[in-house]
Amino acid sequence: MIAAIHLSGDVQVWIGALLTLMVFSFLWRDNPFYKFAEHVFVGVSAAYWMVMGFWTTLWPALVLKLFPAAGRWSSPDAPVGAWDPVALIPAALGLLMLARLWPRLSWLGKWPTAFALGTTAGYSLVRYLRSDFLYQIEATIGTGLAPTAAGRWLWQESLAQLLVLAGTVSGLVYFVNTREQRGAYGRVARWGLLVLMITFGASFGSAVMGRVALLVGRFQELLGPWLGIL
Amino acid sequence: MNSWLAPGTWNIALIGAMVCAVIGVSVVRARRGAHVQVRAFPPLLALDRAVADSVAQGRPVYFVAGSQDIDNMQTVAALAVLRPLARKVAEAGGRLFVPTNRSLVMDNAREICRRAYHDAGRADLWRDDWVAYISDDHLGFVARVDGLIARERPGLCVLMGFFASESLLLAEGGHQVGAVQIAGTASAVQLPFLVASCDHVLLGEELFAAGASLEGDAARLGSLRGQDLCKLAAAACLVAGSLVATLADVTGAQPWLLLREAFLNVFRAG
């Protein structure tokens, strides 16, 4: 028995459903419907992020710190904060960024870029040193190659630990880029590549399931709120 | 008492200083002429042929520098690949399109490409709007880029930098028009998609080495050498640490237990 269709009367549901179908039409080929959805998507998302950028970054981190009284415009009951002269630094860097609009002054625009790159590099160095370097080593050597429990040798855990060690070391060897991968060294690197590929395979399967869940979500949206079948 | 170091982070400071020192010395040595050999990366070897074929067929080249801003190291690494790629495309007399989803990336990519075309003596060919800003939203960005790829039918798509869920959507777009696809990312979650859908892929760290390998810049080659020395040191520490931990477990002898504790203290992450 075919379920009865009860089309939604909600304009928002119709817009969502039609745009979904327009995007799906790309599976057939590029067509005017897809182009329409594409332009709507790009326009709406660009505008959305611009507005978000203003209200989540520029307004609280710059405007309210330099002109605290301006807070009354957006939240009349909120207490007025203190003037923060430190905000003049990002304000100046932001203005320097705009210098790129004038060819003769465009070199000034390199300073804020350099500042952003430098601070991120410094911040990331400590963060990655801790998470990708120290933590990996600590986790690998934390358990020896012969773990025991109640005086019994846990050979399965032992084998797993050995595989982790061999995989980690051979993976590191694969990523040594200033040496040709030949001979015994090359064989270790190839083992590292094999470990990486096995890991990618497992990760791929898991991520594909996530994508299928997204697709199911879109179909539920179409068949439920729009067509009223589900 | 105020302290410059947060409690329990002395080992991070020590190892950080050692890593910086090794890389610094390697850079200085390379600048003074020490030879640094970089192994061959098949994806980069394929780049010349793919650019030549694409231009010969009258099809453009597409380059996407990931989906993050200029403060992401993968974006910086991607732009380091863009520089020599733009030069190759310019020398071959081809068109290079660089859609971006961050204004700062657009600005830097445009300058890089403009200079590359100028240096190759093809400034007449270059158009500023070949490097365009699309949208900060990564799915809006992908919708547009896939549409452009379907219409322009590039012969080569180069996807370098950090990607999130858009990686497979972008790679699928290029695959649909039969483009050669060369990708590179250090995003472990997205690498499987790129490996499955692209012709050649730079895996993880290889992305950071690619720019240095293509340009042969002494400072960056030296930095690469320093990083490799640190990786080998980490591998040696892993093996030594595991052996020490195993001997401590098996024998229960005090010296091995103390040594294991010392290892764990040095490499304690937090």
Query: What does the alpha-carbon distance between residue A229 and residue B13 come to, in Å, rounded to a whole number?
Result: 62
Question: Mind listing the pLDDT tens digit for each residue in A106-126?
Answer: 889 889 989 988 998 888 888
Q: Do A6 and A78 belong to one domain? A: yes
Q: Within a domain: residue A42? A: yes
Alpha-helix runs per DSSP H in chain B: 10-31, 42-56, 73-91, 103-119, 138-152, 166-176, 191-197, 206-215, 218-251, 254-266
> Do A138 and B205 count as a contact with CB atoms less than 8 A apart?
no
**Nearest-neighbour CA in chain B from A63: distance (Å):** 21
Sorting pLDDT into bands at 50, 70 and 90, what band is B7?
confident
Nearest to B36 among A125, A178, A181 (CB): A178
> Do A44 and B140 count as a contact with CB atoms less than 8 A apart?
yes
Q: What is the pTM of this model?
A: 0.87
Q: Within a domain: residue A130? A: no
Q: Which two tokens stand for residue B109?
A: 């990519």
Q: Within a domain: residue A4? A: yes
What does the angle CA B220 – CA A133 – CA A165 come to, to the nearest 5 degrees?
Answer: 115
* Residues of A with Cβ-Cβ distance to B191 under 8 angstroms: 200, 203
Q: Do A72 and A152 belong to one domain? A: no
Domain boundary among A83, A101, A127: A83
User: What is the pLDDT at residue B160?
Assistant: 96
Assembly ipTM: 0.87
Question: Mind listing the pLDDT tens digit for each residue in A131-148?
Answer: 888 888 888 887 788 888
Query: What does the alpha-carbon distance between residue A43 and residue A170 come to, in Å, rounded to a whole number?
Result: 47
Residue B265: closest C-alpha in chain A? A138
Q: Is B195 on the interface with A (CB under 8 A)?
A: yes
Closest CA to A99 of A113, A87, A88: A113
Q: Within a domain: residue A109? A: no
Mutation target among A137, A179, A180, A218 for the B interface, most CBs of B within 10 A: A137
Q: What is the dihedral of CA B79, B80, B81, B83, to 10 degrees?
A: 80
Nearest to A141 among B104, B143, B242 (CB): B242
Closest CA to B191 of B211, B158, B163, B169: B163
Q: Within a domain: residue A205? A: yes
Domain boundary among A48, A83, A118: A83
Domain boundary among A51, A66, A83: A83
> Do B150 and A23 count as a contact with CB atoms less than 8 A apart?
no
Q: Give me the mean pLDDT over the B185-194 stretch.
A: 91
10-residue mean pLDDT profile of chain A (230 residues): values are: 76 92 90 94 90 91 90 79 90 90 87 89 87 84 80 86 92 92 92 92 82 88 86
User: What is the pLDDT at residue B2?
Assistant: 58
Query: What does the alpha-carbon distance between residue A122 and residue A140 come to, in Å, rounded to a whole number?
Result: 26
Q: Within a domain: residue A217? A: yes
**Cα Rg, chain A, nearest whole Å:** 28
Nearest to A178 among B76, B192, B225 (CB): B225
Burial class (CB in 10 A: 0-12, 13-18, 19+), B243: middle
- Based on the structure, what is the number of domains in chain A? 2
Cβ contact B153:B128 at 8 Å: no
**Nearest-neighbour CA in chain B from A156: distance (Å):** 15
Q: Do A76 and A152 belong to one domain? A: no
Question: Mind listing the pLDDT tens digit for each residue in B120-145?
Answer: 999 999 999 999 999 888 888 999 99
Q: Give me the mean pLDDT over the B234-261 stretch.
A: 91
> Do A134 and B139 count as a contact with CB atoms less than 8 A apart?
no
Query: What does the alpha-carbon distance between residue A10 and residue A38 come to, in Å, rounded to a whole number?
Result: 23
Domain extent for A6: 1-83
Q: Within a domain: residue A59? A: yes
Q: Within a domain: residue A24? A: yes
Q: Is B137 on the interface with A (CB under 8 A)?
A: yes
Q: Is B232 on the interface with A (CB under 8 A)?
A: yes
User: What is the pLDDT at residue B162?
Assistant: 95
Q: What is the set of domains in chain B, with CATH numbers?
A: 42-215 (3.40.50)
Each residue of A142-177: b (16+ CB within 10 Å) or e?
A: bbbbbbeeeeeeeeeebeebeebbebbbbbbbbbbb
Q: Do A8 and A76 belong to one domain? A: yes
